[in-house]
Amino acid sequence: MPFQFVETPIDGLIIVKPRVFADDRGFFMESYKASEFRTAGISEQFVQDNHSRSQKNVIRGLHFQRRPHQQGKLVRCISGAVWDVAVDLRKDSPTYGNWYGIELSETNKTMLYLPPGFGHGFAVLSETAEFVYKVTSEYAPESDGGIVWNDPAIGIKWPIDPADAVVSEKDSRLPRLETLEDPYL
């Protein structure tokens, strides 16, 4: 089997570890295989791929899209390292408002699957990082939403000093979770 799927404490949020074939020439791995993901219970169809590059201490997020353009995501870091964070925004979930963080890097090649209903963000740990992700719905500006990265009610333990965080003006003005009636209306 080319993938190991590991459940997290938050229902539906899944760590994906690919099988990597490495030798003195480099490595080979499958980064996605629909049949394997379906067998693991991830049956969404991915319709768009995104790629970003960021400098050390950049924090992007916490982003989501509202209905009808909610996005599931399969995320990974292909260069450098990031601290990746998912926040459960599903009002009917017993883990609503809880977060989960994991280091994703070019070295560990670990991926994270986030079903629709999660806020997502990451902090760059290396000098630079390139981050790629597949999404289940195309980006729709009218459905764009987010929660501020340092919302004390969520309490994410970012592995960088907040004084060193580099955050876009847009992301620094995002609302707190408590001010959102339902992020998926």
The answer to whether position 43 is within a domain reads no
What is the tally of structural domains in the chain? 1
**pLDDT per residue as tens digits for the range 131-179:** 999 999 999 999 999 999 999 999 999 999 999 999 999 999 999 999 9
**pLDDT per residue as tens digits for the range 26-76:** 999 999 999 999 999 999 999 999 999 999 999 999 999 999 999 999 999
Q: Is 51 a catalytic residue?
A: no
Domain that holds residue 118: 48-179
Q: Which of these is catalytic: 113, 133, 139, 184?
A: 133
Q: Which of these is catalytic: 63, 69, 113, 120?
A: 63
- How would residue 180 be classed by pLDDT, with cut points 50, 70 and 90? confident
H or E segment and range at residue 149: none
Q: Is 100 a catalytic residue?
A: no
Structure confidence at residue 185 (pLDDT):
41
Q: How many CA atoms lie within 13 A of 104 on its CB side?
A: 30
CB under 8 A, 24+ apart: contacts of 90-97: 90/117, 90/118, 90/184, 91/182, 91/184, 93/10, 93/11, 93/117, 94/11, 95/9, 95/10, 95/11, 97/153, 97/154, 97/177
83 three-class SS: strand
User: Domain containing 124 — which CATH number?
Assistant: 2.60.120.10
The answer to whether position 161 is within a domain reads yes
